Amino acid sequence: MMAAQPEDAPRLADFGYEQVPWSDKKARVRGVFDSVASRYDLMNDVMSGGLHRLWKRFTLAKTGLRPGQQALDVAAGSGDIAVGLARRVGRSGRVAVTDINAAMLEEGRARLLNAGLAGNIDYVLADAEALPFKDASFHCVTIGFGLRNVTDKDRALGSLYRVIKPGGRLLVLEFSHAQLGPLAPLYELYSLQVLPRFGEWLAGDAESYRYLAESIRRHPDQETLKAMMERAGFERCEYFNLTAGIVALHVGFKL
């Protein structure tokens, strides 16, 4: 039988396969994305074989957004989902783009400006666990490939729920638990052995990409994340497995 953890033991968080002090994880994650920001889009293509573009297109098709509405992209990274949101709400709408990492937020700003999108975009350096927006501000909130990097996922889901308007929805696009059958060992080999080598070759940083691969294994599976969303208050929750569950899109509504 495993010994009980002492009551005064420090709280720990997963950082890939490593256990780190709960209070240290955000800084560790920030360091990863400081390192990979300039090569983030390139490495997304390498990690997914370009499929991330199709996954994000599917996500945008599920937003239900109309011209004039308000949308929020959390952990926006290089801004490709935010571009799609801005095009859906049009000039009469508004999009807030947030990330906890300043370097990634600047990457997103550059992408949106290059796409000719300005004037109705707000850029906010913000933590998903404590979003600095008023209650019921947005018709749709997206978080793409960001939730697994959050320290307190339950708190983040509560924060996301708070800022959504009644009738609005949350879309969580994230690597998930793949259902690959006999191909599973090949996927494990690619993720944990090949991907860090690509990281070293293309970005000069094997360790950050090793963390990104390991963090997928620590992320809740599809049913667990659905239950977490329901516990946060979301209703009519469902998920769509994409590419045999390598990625899943979870959708939940605030009714």
d(CA 103, CA 173) in angstroms, rounded, equals 21
Judge whether 27 lies within some domain.
yes
CA angle 217/16/163 to nearest 5° reads 80
Computed over its alpha carbons, how large is the radius of gyration of the chain? 18
Q: What local confidence, expressed as pLDDT, does residue 6 receive?
A: 57
Judge whether 200 lies within some domain.
no
pLDDT in tens, 106-131: 999 999 999 999 899 999 999 999 99
Number of structural domains found in the chain: 1
Judge whether 91 lies within some domain.
yes
String of DSSP letters for 186-197: HHHHIIIIIHHH
Whether residue 235 is predicted with pLDDT greater than 70 in this model: the reply is: yes
pTM strictly above 0.95 = no
Contact 147, 222 (CB under 8 A): no
d(CA 147, CA 138) in angstroms, rounded, equals 19
| Termini Cα distance of the chain | 44
Judge whether 167 lies within some domain.
yes
pLDDT in tens, 14-72: 999 999 999 999 999 988 888 888 888 877 787 788 899 999 999 999 999 999 999 99
Locate tokens 């929750």: which residue? 237
The CATH number of residue 90's host domain is: 3.40.50.150
d(CA 86, CA 14) in angstroms, rounded, equals 34
Whether residue 86 is predicted with pLDDT greater than 60 in this model: the reply is: yes
Judge whether 201 lies within some domain.
no
Confidence of residue 227 (pLDDT cuts 50, 70, 90): very high
Judge whether 210 lies within some domain.
no
Judge whether 192 lies within some domain.
no
Judge whether 3 lies within some domain.
no
Query: Residue 48: what residue type?
Result: S
Enclosing domain of residue 76: 22-177+220-253
